[in-house]
């Protein structure tokens, strides 16, 4: 076993992410209510063997007083979480500003903000300064809790400056960084005013990971074209120091879904839904309400399908579940009203007194309700304009043991690279093509559905979140071991 070579059985892993996997609500001066959110990352890390994981991140609340900070730190310690406290102004400039107004749209090919988008926060430079300051505050906390032999795994575009800060504290710290979004073509990345500084900071890590080989390749080209460094098959080399760059496609905890489908309450919910939509095929979309998810494009394609196929109008229903996010950002508010307006128009056009073609819910569903919905779905529709991976497509496949429903999947989601052979791949911008795929999916023969499903199911159940986390941590350990060997020679 390469991972346990010369190391204690339980290696400490410090997972650093913008948000802790816990929501904190203040109950009194020194009392907090905590709710653990069982996201994909949490279950992925629970499954990693021989690792003792701790979380470092922002609790998502402003706690200006010391009494509150001390109480929250103590409460979080029981959940193996360590908070980073950011004051309101830095949090705003760093999180709403640089992360969500600049990096998120840029990495999804939506470009840099125009004047009006910049005007909603402060200037680009002050946002970048706040980003660096916030990353430094994360680094202070990591450094305070770091013990020799720990590995540090930094997550996502919020923390691109962190590897550099950490290595400046301690060059022997083993640092990995993983990006959950796409890394765009170097031609897009080079428009970013702080393009070089960010690349250099990420390169300070020992291992840099992406969901797909394409994103890794884009990152290496950005380093060669923008920084003039040398790309090698292993990664990027700068004055003899190699930063390993590789693809680590994430997965889900598919057993968790399988187990949920066996629960009596979930089975009952499946029966209720089956009864409720009897005589109609069910199509499903589950997304965060974000421009990258292509929700208006999806609904317009569904409209086109209904327009061209009158015989299907009372035989199919689209359930679109969209969790609102970043609700204080004007563009997200605009997207919400745009979606409502389109849904209203289509329901007015094709609805009857007793049925409407689209059920749109603006909210989050609990895990069991989500599993039941996936299980009764005939066709899932994922039309992201860009998406790092897209776990909804994996979750749908995991819940389709008996139904063998069809997945229509955007070719711009990372998942297209792993589920492409089983799914119907589409260009979400081409509404005519998506509408035709909806028709194809609804009319697909049971044999073809079975064959396509078998392919995807095998992938989803064998490339799990646990494998993903284990492989990354194992490679991170090996990278450092190799670096140490080189110095010893």
* Binding footprint of ligand ADQ on the chain (CB under 6 A): 40, 180-181, 250, 286-288, 321, 323, 364-365, 370, 387-392, 395
Question: At closest approach, how far in Å is the CB of 244 from ligand ADQ?
Answer: 20
Question: At closest approach, how far in Å is the CB of 464 from ligand ADQ?
Answer: 13
Q: Which of 83, 61, 288 is closest to 180 using CA atoms? A: 288
The vertex-316 CA angle with 312 and 320, nearest 5°, equals 140
Which residue's CB is nearer to ligand ADQ, number 390 or number 464? 390
Question: At closest approach, how far in Å is the CB of 210 from ligand ADQ?
Answer: 10
Question: At closest approach, how far in Å is the CB of 113 from ligand ADQ?
Answer: 19
Pairing verdict, β 316-324 and 81-84: unpaired
Which residue's CB is nearer to ligand ADQ, number 71 or number 423? 423
Question: At closest approach, how far in Å is the CB of 157 from ligand ADQ?
Answer: 10
How far apart CA 185 and CA 166 sit, in angstroms, is 27
Question: At closest approach, how far in Å is the CB of 430 from ligand ADQ?
Answer: 21
Question: At closest approach, how far in Å is the CB of 362 from ligand ADQ?
Answer: 9
8 Å CB contact between 243 and 176: no
Which residue's CB is nearer to ligand ADQ, number 235 or number 388? 388
Question: At closest approach, how far in Å is the CB of 282 from ligand ADQ?
Answer: 16
Which residue's CB is nearer to ligand ADQ, number 206 or number 253? 253
* DSSP-derived 3-state class of residue 219: helix
How far apart CA 25 and CA 363 sit, in angstroms, is 20
How far apart CA 166 and CA 153 sit, in angstroms, is 11
Q: Which of 245, 162, 165 is closest to 206 using CA atoms? A: 245
Question: At closest approach, how far in Å is the CB of 343 from ligand ADQ?
Answer: 15
Which residue's CB is nearer to ligand ADQ, number 85 or number 183? 183
Q: How far is CA 80 from CA 21, 22, 51, 53, 136, in A?
A: 10, 10, 13, 8, 22
Which residue's CB is nearer to ligand ADQ, number 287 or number 303? 287
Which residue's CB is nearer to ligand ADQ, number 303 or number 395? 395
Q: How far is CA 378 from CA 301, 391, 407, in A?
A: 17, 18, 9
Residue with token string 């307006």: 341
Query: 465: buried, middle or exposed (CB in 10 Å: 19+, 13-18, 0-12)?
Result: buried
Total residues found in the chain within this entry: 489
Question: At closest approach, how far in Å is the CB of 321 from ligand ADQ?
Answer: 4
Which residue's CB is nearer to ligand ADQ, number 135 or number 181? 181
8 Å CB contact between 218 and 148: no
The vertex-471 CA angle with 51 and 105, nearest 5°, equals 105
How far apart CA 263 and CA 241 sit, in angstroms, is 52
Which residue's CB is nearer to ligand ADQ, number 198 or number 380? 380
Which residue's CB is nearer to ligand ADQ, number 226 or number 369? 369
Question: At closest approach, how far in Å is the CB of 214 from ligand ADQ?
Answer: 13
For 263-293, the DSSP string reads SHHHHHHHHHHHHHTTTSEEEEEEEEE-GGG
The set of residues, in sequence order, having a beta carbon less than 8 Å from that of 154 and lying 6+ positions away, is 16, 17, 162, 163, 166, 175, 176, 177, 178, 205
Which residue's CB is nearer to ligand ADQ, number 56 or number 252? 252
Helix axes 446-462, 391-398, angle to 10 degrees: 110
């Amino acid at each position: 076993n390469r991972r346990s070579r010369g190391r204690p059985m339980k290696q400490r892993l410090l997972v650093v992410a913008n948000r802790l996997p816990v929501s904190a609500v203040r109950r009194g001066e020194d009392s907090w209510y905590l709710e653990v959110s069982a996201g994909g990352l949490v279950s992925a890390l629970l499954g990693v063997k021989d690792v003792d994981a701790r979380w470092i991140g922002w609790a998502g609340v402003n706690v200006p007083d010391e009494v509150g900070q001390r109480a929250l730190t103590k409460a979080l310690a029981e959940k193996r979480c360590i908070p980073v406290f950011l004051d309101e102004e830095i949090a705003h400039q760093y999180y709403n500003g640089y992360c969500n107004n600049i990096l998120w749209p840029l990495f999804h090919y939506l470009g840099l903000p125009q004047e009006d988008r910049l005007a909603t926060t402060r200037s680009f430079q002050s946002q970048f300064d706040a980003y660096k300051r916030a990353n430094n505050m994360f680094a202070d906390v990591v450094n305070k809790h770091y013990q020799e032999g720990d590995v540090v795994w930094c997550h996502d575009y919020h923390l691109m400056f962190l590897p550099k800060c950490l290595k400046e504290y301690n060059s022997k710290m083993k640092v990995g960084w993983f990006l959950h979004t796409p890394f765009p073509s170097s031609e897009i990345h080079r428009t970013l005013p702080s393009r070089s500084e960010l690349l250099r900071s990420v390169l300070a890590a020992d291992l840099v990971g992406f969901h797909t080989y394409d994103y890794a390749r884009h990152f290496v080209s950005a380093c060669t074209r923008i920084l003039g460094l040398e790309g090698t098959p292993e990664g990027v080399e700068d004055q003899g120091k190699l930063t390993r760059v590789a693809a680590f496609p994430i997965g889900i905890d598919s057993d968790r879904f399988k187990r949920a489908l066996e629960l009596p309450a979930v089975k009952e919910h499946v029966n209720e839904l089956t009864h409720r939509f009897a005589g109609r095929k069910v199509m499903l979309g589950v997304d965060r309400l974000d421009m990258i998810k292509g929700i208006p494009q999806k609904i317009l394609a569904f409209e086109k399908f209904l327009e061209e196929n009158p015989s299907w109008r009372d035989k199919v229903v689209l359930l679109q579940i969209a969790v609102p996010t970043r609700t204080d950002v004007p563009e997200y508010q605009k997207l919400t009203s745009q979606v409502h307006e389109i849904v209203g128009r289509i329901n007015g056009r094709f609805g009857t007194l007793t049925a409407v073609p689209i059920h749109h819910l603006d909210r989050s569903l609990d895990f069991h309700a989500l599993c039941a919905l996936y299980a009764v779905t005939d066709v899932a529709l994922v039309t992201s304009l860009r998406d790092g991976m897209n776990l909804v497509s994996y979750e749908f496949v995991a819940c389709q043991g008996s139904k063998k429903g069809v997945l229509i999947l955007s070719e711009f989601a990372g998942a297209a690279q792993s589920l492409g052979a089983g799914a119907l791949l589409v260009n979400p911008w081409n509404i005519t093509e998506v509408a035709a795929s909806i028709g194809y999916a609804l009319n697909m023969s049971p044999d073809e559905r079975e064959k396509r499903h078998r392919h995807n199911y095998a992938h989803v159940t064998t490339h799990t979140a646990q494998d993903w986390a284990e492989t990354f941590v194992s490679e991170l350990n090996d990278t450092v071991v190799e670096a140490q060997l080189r110095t010893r020679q």
